[in-house]
């Protein structure tokens, strides 16, 4: 895995911008993922090359489009740590919060970052995004960056994620390239939640013919009172 990751980072133009030991650390993380996946459902990808390309390099590609240095970031629905854990390995100064509604995935992830020795500026919250973004919790309008990959349709995802972003910050939604209709359907939600689409970046995952998309949504105004709503309401009546 290490060679594939190293070559992929080079192809993405990231060599020299990330720590020298990042490929080895990402490979170790990938190995731990494959081992644990035999007893816990963490990923549908079951071989090293797929993990290296479709998890590690897919997430690493975000560095082409956004500056993460020293920023605060919450990774909503992080699961086995994608993209958050990859970003933390590549940009150690990142102050990261992992959020997921499944405690056992977060428990496993804590083993990963302890084993890799990168425990600085890491927080993990077990819970639902729509509950953590409630005013009394204190995390609203407060993060420089919010990421999410494979969590929900963009319209729903905006209500889960945009409330965490501070004004001037960005929500980075990782999507496939056939997300045009999702994006169009999310236009109302984005506007209502104080956002504006600031960029749509398609990128090729190194060593594959797969193109993925990063949608960057800039937060222009504070979150409206009353959002996010309860999960049942979000699902039943998406914005
Ligand atoms: N982001 C990871 C990735 O790309 O591999 C995990 C994707 S997994 C398909 C979706 C994750 O989102 C699950 O771990 C699930 O527990 C979490 N999730 C779904 N809805 C959530 C919510 N409302 N709040 C927090 N976590 C949520």
Q: What is the pLDDT of residues 83-136, one digit of tens each?
A: 999 999 999 999 999 999 999 999 999 999 999 998 789 999 999 999 999 988
Residue 58 has pLDDT above 90, yes or no: yes
8 Å CB contact between 171 and 205 = no
What is the distance in A from the centroid of ligand 1 to the CA of 79?
Answer: 5
Sign of CA dihedral 86, 120, 146, 156: positive
Q: Is the CB of 1 under 6 A from ligand 1?
A: no
Question: How crowded is residue 196: how many other Cβ atoms within 10 Å of its Cβ?
Answer: 12
Sign of CA dihedral 214, 220, 221, 224: negative
Taken in order of first residue, the domains within the chain and their CATH numbers are 66-236 (3.40.50.150)
Mean pLDDT of the chain: 97
pLDDT in tens, 189-232: 999 999 999 999 999 999 999 999 999 999 999 999 999 999 99
What is the distance in A from the centroid of ligand 1 to the CA of 164?
Answer: 16
What is the distance in A from the centroid of ligand 1 to the CA of 193?
Answer: 21
Q: Which pLDDT does position 203 carry in this prediction? A: 98
Atom 22 (ligand 1): residue with closest C-alpha?
128
Any alpha helices (H) in the chain, and if so which ranges?
2-11, 22-36, 48-50, 58-60, 84-90, 103-115, 129-132, 154-161, 180-185, 187-192, 231-236
Task: State how far the Cα of 94 lies from the Cα of 190, in Å rounded to an integer.
Answer: 26
Q: Is the CB of 99 under 6 A from ligand 1?
A: yes
Residue among 51, 58, 151, 172 to mutate when testing ligand 1 (max atoms within 8 A of CB): 151
Atom 17 (ligand 1): residue with closest C-alpha?
77
pLDDT in tens, 146-199: 999 999 999 999 999 999 999 999 999 999 999 999 999 999 999 999 999 999
> Which pair of structure tokens corresponds to residue 224?
């409206």
Name 209's Cβ contacts closer than 8 Å, sequence gap at least 6.
none
Q: Which pLDDT does position 187 carry in this prediction? A: 97
Percent of the chain with pLDDT over 70: 100
Q: Which pLDDT does position 41 carry in this prediction? A: 95
Question: How crowded is residue 224: how many other Cβ atoms within 10 Å of its Cβ?
Answer: 11
What is the distance in A from the centroid of ligand 1 to the CA of 225?
Answer: 25
Residue 52 has pLDDT above 90, yes or no: yes
Residue among 101, 103, 107, 157 to mutate when testing ligand 1 (max atoms within 8 A of CB): 101
* Axis crossing angle, helix 22-36 with helix 103-115, rounded to the nearest 10: 140
Q: Which pLDDT does position 118 carry in this prediction? A: 80
Q: Which pLDDT does position 121 carry in this prediction? A: 94
Percent of the chain with pLDDT over 90: 97
8 Å CB contact between 239 and 192 = yes
- Of 133, 108, 124, nearest to 41 by C-alpha is 108
- Of 170, 185, 172, nearest to 238 by C-alpha is 185
Q: Which pLDDT does position 119 carry in this prediction? A: 78
Q: Which pLDDT does position 230 carry in this prediction? A: 94
pLDDT in tens, 74-92: 999 999 999 999 999 999 9
Q: Is the CB of 79 under 6 A from ligand 1?
A: yes
Q: Is the CB of 96 under 6 A from ligand 1?
A: no
Task: State how far the Cα of 98 lies from the Cα of 111, in Å rounded to an integer.
Answer: 13
Task: State how far the Cα of 110 lies from the Cα of 95, in Å rounded to an integer.
Answer: 15
Q: Which pLDDT does position 12 carry in this prediction? A: 98
């Amino acid at each position: 895995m290490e060679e594939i990751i190293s070559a992929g980072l080079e192809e993405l133009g990231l060599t020299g911008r990330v720590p020298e030991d990042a490929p080895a650390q990402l490979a170790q993380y990938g190995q731990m993922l494959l081992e644990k996946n035999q007893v816990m459902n963490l990923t549908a990808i079951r071989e090293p090359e797929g993990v290296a390309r479709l998890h590690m390099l897919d997430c690493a590609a975000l560095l082409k489009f956004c500056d993460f240095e020293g920023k605060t970031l919450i990774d909503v629905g992080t699961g086995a740590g994608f993209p958050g854990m990859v970003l933390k390995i590549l940009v150690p100064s990142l102050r990261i919060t992992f959020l997921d509604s499944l405690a056992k995935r977060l428990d496993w992830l804590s083993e990963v970052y302890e084993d890799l020795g990168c425990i600085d500026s890491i927080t993990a919250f077990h819970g639902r995004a729509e509950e953590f973004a409630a005013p009394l919790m204190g995390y609203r309008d407060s993060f420089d960056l919010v990421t999410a990959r494979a969590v929900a349709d963009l319209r729903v995802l905006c209500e889960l994620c945009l409330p965490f972003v501070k004004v001037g910050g960005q929500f980075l939604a990782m999507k496939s390239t056939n997300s045009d209709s999702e994006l169009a359907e999310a236009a109302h939600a984005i506007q209502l939640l104080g956002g504006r689409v600031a960029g749509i970046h398609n990128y090729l995952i190194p060593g594959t013919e797969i193109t993925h998309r990063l949608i960057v949504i800039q937060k222009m105004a504070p979150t409206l009172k009353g959002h996010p709503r309860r999960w049942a309401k979000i699902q039943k009546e998406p914005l």
